[in-house]
Structure 1
Amino acid sequence: MPRNIDRRTFVKGAGAGGIAGLAGLAGCTGGPEDDGSSGEDGTDSPDDTGTPSGEDGNGSADGSAELNVGMVYATGGLGDGSFNDQAQTGLQQAAEEFDVGYDESQPDEVSQFANYQQQYAQSTDPDYGLVSCIGFLQADALGETSADFPDQDFMIVDEVVENDNVASYTFAEHEGSFLVGQLAGLLTTQEFSAGAGSTDPDSTSVGFVGGVESALIQKFEAGFLAGAAHANADVDIQTTYVGDFNAPGAGQEAALAMYNNGADVVYHAAGNTGTGVFQAAQEAGRFAIGVDQDQSLTRPNYSDVILASMVKRVDTAVYNSIEAKLNGELPTGDLVALGLEQEGVAAVYGDELGSELPEEVTSAVESSREAIIGGELEVPQSPSDVSE
């Protein structure tokens, strides 16, 4: 790990973050189009017994549809403006284009995943032909559920479950994170002002706020660290894990500590916790980088400090899995990996600030994108593998 990295765990039980961006991104072939606008608050919640429900117009599963999908979201729920909302975009796009009904469940805790998965798997009225499990924290529960229901098809995002009835979709988060890390590393070494933010000419420091510390979120961290170091080896990098994906207050506190310690740009991979990072950026007059969706659009109140977002096409994975199931081609038992080359991840510049970025910075980031796709630049997947 680079000698100039201050890597700490800030608060146990709070926080979660996001991904940042470079150029407009079209979906993978056959995937949904994403206008980045689905950041509304979710209102559909399961009842107290843990039974999936489709209240408030979000559920449409019935026996007449060609396919019914049961959706189990990650903790943090809908309205996060990033990960879960991106998954819902793919689900809704598929429902609009195909004869698909669906119901949605929003677990509050990891311990609820198995119950929701099982409820969908054992339902016969309606019958759910596909159960979608969003997030790596569902893997343990799904490993058992899929074994108990061998005739039920499942898909999971962000983890691999090695059962013959599970299609696993993962992303090269480290590749997209490298690009936004390079962006942050280049900007902190120069005077730059745009929107409500500016860099401190006396500081060369950037920060990363993670949600729950895990191998997955460390891929975001590793890419960001490597990108910042690629921009300038002397950049100081502060890293904090909050311990939660739905704690904006803790995210704000963590990011403020970084800004007060000289950080010009903070990147989050922390779900709704990242909203607090944006609040801190505005308060400090600095910059932030979002994740999963173009958060300058899904969190427009903070577009004046969001330089970019590392977009992760969870919507494409959800959409493609539904289409594949309808066509009898769901890749159960297989892993589908989506990186920069497959347009599964991308760096997307902020809607308000993107045009203000220096051309030499954006050109350097684009060169790195091409080098990664071409195999000339290899990005580490663990912070411990980031060279000094």
Structure 2
Amino acid sequence: MKKRHVGLVAAAAALALTITGCSAGGSSDTPAENTNLSVALSVNGALGDQGFFDDAETGMVELKKLGHNTTTLQADINNPAQWKSNLESLSTGKWDIAVAGTWQMVDPLTAIAAKFPKQKYLIFDAIVEAPNVASITYAQNEGSYLAGVLAATAATDTANFPLSSGSKTIGLVGGMDIPVINDFLAGFKAGAEAVDPSVNVLVSYVGAFNDSAKGYDQAMGMYNQGADVVFQVAGGSGIGVLQAAKDANKYAIGVDSNQNALQPGHILASMEKRIGNSIVLAVQSAQDGTLEWGKTVTYGLANDGVGLNYADNDNIVPDSVIKIVDGFKKQVIDGSVTVPTAF
């Protein structure tokens, strides 16, 4: 039987974030231990992307199940003024914690956190240096290292991966040419090189995270150049990459959440940044008074904050290959391999 992902929520006690002095609803008072909190998420886009935003929302759903009061505000993905307005509306004292995510929210949150110093904020996948903000980042380079190992293995092992031509060519389609996406790329290339230094890695950028048609075209171009596997790190644009894998009868790797079932038989795995779980852990830490405001916590392979999910992929990755990938994972965790980063 293949190994399956075990969520961080199940291991919350072992992975609790460090923290001090959580304030409730804009007040300087510390909530009583185990008091349920009110938590609001401001999304700089819309739910339904089957990836980044939806994964964050899974955390909010879980928090509600745990008894917390939650809400989620959505926005036009191309309307920064609305992102800022929504976050400001959550900063008036009604909500114990206002949550936002991605590099696009760094500037708005930096300004708003200074304007509302008593409000507590949580930002994920980015860092805001402010005394009332707790930041969560993810070692996407480490997770992408495993994606590179898997992609290179699939591109060189035609016996176990019959849709592969053995071309030793793989690709990565990124949303934008920005540091966080290039951090995925740095890890992905390193993982591929660890398997076979002669593997060719094609790279392109959509220029947006919501253009699935362009994502499709760029991935199809890579498949036409001989790529056997394409890793999508393009948000909503990456849905087109996964469709291209099916149409080209090749392989892809999903990102952020488990996207394997979107194109069964063609998605080898999904490199998850377990955003929803990390939000739950942060709120649980705030609830018990251990969340450290003004600090950053990073989730990587060692604490199961990133990793490959093979569930719902039609069992197209044999256990023998999963064991190989896990061997590379252990090398990163024990420090014998240091994965390069774009930061």
Q: TM-score scaled to structure 1, two decimals?
A: 0.78
Counterpart of 1:100 in structure 2 is 69
Answer 1 or 2: higher relative contact order, Cα 8 Å, separation at least 6: 1
Match of 1:317 in 2: 278
Point out the more displaced range, 320-329 or 252-261.
320-329
Q: Alpha carbons of 1:74 and 1:22: their partners in 2 closer, same or farther (altered >3 Å)?
A: farther
Note if contact 2:75-2:83 (Cα within 8 Å) is conserved in structure 1.
no
Residue identity opposite 1:67 in structure 2: L
Runs of 4+ in 1 over 3 A off after TM superposition: none
Q: CA deviation at 1:359?
A: 4.5
> Contact 1:23/1:346 (CA < 8 Å) preserved in 2?
no
Is 1:262 aligned with 2:226? yes
2:163 maps to 198
Contact 1:307 1:350 in 2 (8 A): no
Determine which of 27, 30, 38 is the counterpart of 2:12: 30
Q: How far apart, CA to CA, are the structure 1 residues paired with 2:169 and 2:72?
A: 45
Report the Cα offset of residue 104 of structure 1: 2.3
Counterparts of 1:40-51 in structure 2 under 5 Å? Answer: none
Query: Deviation per CA, 1:175-204, whole angstroms, max 9, x where unpaired?
Result: 11100111111111121566xx70113x21
What do the CA deviations read for 1:237-284 (whole angstroms, capped 9, x no partner)? 100111111111111001000000110000011111111001101111
Name stretches of at least 5 consecutive residues in structure 1 with no aligned partner: 1-20, 32-64, 384-388
1:378 and 2:342 are equivalent in the alignment = no
Letter in 1 for 2:301: L
Residue type matched to 1:223 in 2?
G
Pick aligned residue for 1:220 from 151, 171, 184: 184
1:90-239 matched pairs, under 5 angstroms: 90-109=59-78, 110-122=80-92, 127-192=94-159, 198-201=163-166, 203-239=167-203
Contact 1:174–1:220, Cα closer than 8 Å, also in 2: yes
1:284-336 CA deviation, whole Å, 9 max, x = no partner? 11000001111114x2xx12210001011101221122222333333210111
Q: Distance in 2 between matches of 1:26 and 1:66?
A: 22
**Aligned counterparts of 1:375 and 1:256: Cα–Cα separation in 2:** 37
Q: Which moved more, 1:370-379 or 1:102-111?
A: 102-111
Q: C-alpha separation between the residues in 1 aligned to 2:101 and 2:75?
A: 10
Q: Does 1:341 align with 2:302?
A: yes
Distance 2:82 2:73 in 1: 14
Contact 1:188/1:200, CA 8 A, preserved across alignment: yes
The equivalent residue for 2:269 is 308
* Code of the aligned partner of 1:24: H
TM-score, normalised via structure 2 length? 0.88
Relative distance call for 1:206 and 1:350 in structure 2 (3 A) is farther
User: 1:66 Cα shift?
Assistant: 4.7
Question: For structure 2, which runs of at least 5 residues remain unmatched after alignment?
Answer: 14-34
- Identity, % of aligned positions: 32
Matches within 5 A, 1:234-245: 234-245=198-209
